[in-house]
Amino acid sequence: MTGRITELGSVSRFVGWAGSARSRIADAERQIATGKRHEQPSAVPTDAGTILQSRNQLARLQQFLRNQANANDLLATSDNALQNSTAALTQVRTLALQAVNGATSMEGRDTIAAEIRAVAREVLALANTSFDGRPIYAGTSDSTRAYDDTGAYLGDGGQVRRRISDQLTFDVGSPGPRVFGTENGADPYNGTVFQVLEQLAFDIENDNIAGGRAGIEAIDVASSRMLTELGRVGGLTNRIEAAGEQARTEEARLNARLSLTEDTDLAEAVVRLRSSEASYEATLAASARALNRSLLDFLR
């Protein structure tokens, strides 16, 4: 160690000590001011990867949560349209039963047929329900409507997918044929719901009782098709919400991990600031005393 204590030596030593004490204060101040433990990845090379990875995961998760909200909205719209459609079919069924029980007059049947046609238009409008400007029953087609005015399907069978998590992608679309039946030129009662309704209205107009009964059965089939789809939509909603719940838990966990690795422990930082200030002052006081002392003070 140092044998002789020299002026230059003690000055540079004290300057070094005071400087390192000062930089400890600056570091504690920075931690408190920014709320971050470290400024640069190289200050914590072992945590740097974890922090960035967590940020990446967090960003993706937040997007997944947005996707999930979007999927839920879409499913809610679809659910609403399907509820209304089944309610409309129930209404048609009641009317049709009225018409086929034989006690209805010619005019009454005409009125009923007209009503059925009105309901058919309502169902057609519901089948063209759109979400974000896009018909929800048209698959991946870029058509602006799922069905044209005649009830012909314009869409395709493509999947409308939503990414809910790394592993989970849901097809939230309902292709028109699955919900409203497939067109059948030869046998309208086995065709789309629009064909069924039109044929039913025609049969009722023409007092075709047998045809009307077959139509009521066809409506039951169409209804149950819709209810099945409604059940599927409900089930999907539940699964997506469950996945969303998981994503939110994961988000909270990632946030906690990030906070743990990169956020300042305020209590610790304040204590460190206090103690480094104290040591800085002590260093200054000590050097002020030591540098003042020399033989000169004791000589006359």
Partner 1 sequence: MAGFSTLNTAYTGLATQARRIDVIGENIANASTPGYRRRRVDLGAIEGPNGVGIYSGADRTGRGVEIRSIDRVLDPVLERHARAEAGRAADLKVGAEALSELESRWTSFGETGIAQGIRDLAAAFDELVNQPDDLAIRNITLQRAEGLATEITAAAGEGADVRSSLVQRTSTLVDRVNSISTSIAGLHTPIVAARAAGADGSSLEDRRDQLIDELTSITNASVLYGETGGVRIAVDGYSLVADDQTSAIGMTATPDPSLPTGMDRVAVTAAGGRELTFNGGDLAGTLRAANTLIPDQVRRLDQLATDLANSMNAIHAAGTGLDGGSGRNLFTIGSGAATFAVSTDVVGRPERLAVAGAAAGPLDTTTAEQLADLVDAPDGPAARWTALVADLAGITAANRTRADAAGDAASAAEQNRISVSGVSLDEEMTELISAQRSYEAAARVISAVDGMLDTLINRTGLVGR
Q: What is the DSSP string of 63-127?
A: HHHHHHHHHHHHHHHHHHHHHHHHHHHHHHHHHHHHHHTS---HHHHHHHHHHHHHHHHHHHHHH
> Residue 46 or 105: which CB sits closer to partner 1?
46
Closest CB 137 distance from partner 1, rounded Å: 13
Number of C-beta neighbours around residue 80 at 10 A: 13
Chain positions contacting partner 1, by CB under 8 A: 2-9, 11-13, 16, 36, 38-45, 48-49, 51-53, 55-56, 59-60, 62-64, 66-67, 70, 132-134, 139-142, 156, 158-163, 166, 169, 262, 294-296, 299
Least Å distance, CB 247 to partner 1, is 13
Q: Report the C-alpha gap between 48 and 41 in whole angstroms.
A: 5
Considering the complex, state which of residue 2 and residue 105 has its C-beta at the smaller distance from partner 1: 2
The least distance separating partner 1 from the CB of residue 158, rounded to whole angstroms, comes to 4
Query: What is the rounded distance in angstroms from the CA atom of residue 134 to the CA atom of residue 129?
Result: 8
Q: How far is the CB of 200 from partner 1 (least distance, A)?
A: 32
Measured between alpha carbons, how far apart are the two ends of the chain, in Å?
33
Q: How far is CA 16 from each of CA 6, 21, 43, 201, rounded to the nearest angstrom?
A: 15, 9, 22, 99
Q: How far is the CB of 35 from partner 1 (least distance, A)?
A: 11
Q: CA–CA separation, 162 vs 68, rounded Å? A: 7
CB nearer partner 1, residue 51 or residue 87: 51
Determine the 3-state secondary structure of 136 from DSSP: coil
Q: Which CB, 3 or 185, lies closer to partner 1?
A: 3
Provide the minimum distance between the beta carbon of 13 and partner 1 in the complex, in angstroms, as a whole number. 7
**Distance from chain centroid for Cα 21:** 50
- C-alpha distances (whole Å) from 183 to each of 20, 143, 151 are 84, 18, 9
Specify the residue, 38 or 225, whose C-beta has the smaller distance to partner 1.
38
In this complex, which beta carbon is closest to partner 1, that of residue 139 or of residue 215?
A: 139
Other Cβ atoms less than 10 A from the Cβ of 214: the count is: 20
- What is the C-alpha separation between 229 and 179, in angstroms, rounded? 6
**Nearest CB to partner 1, comparing residues 70 and 98:** 70
Task: List phi, psi (to 5°) of 263.
Answer: -85, 150
Smallest gap from Cβ 244 to partner 1, in A, equals: 14
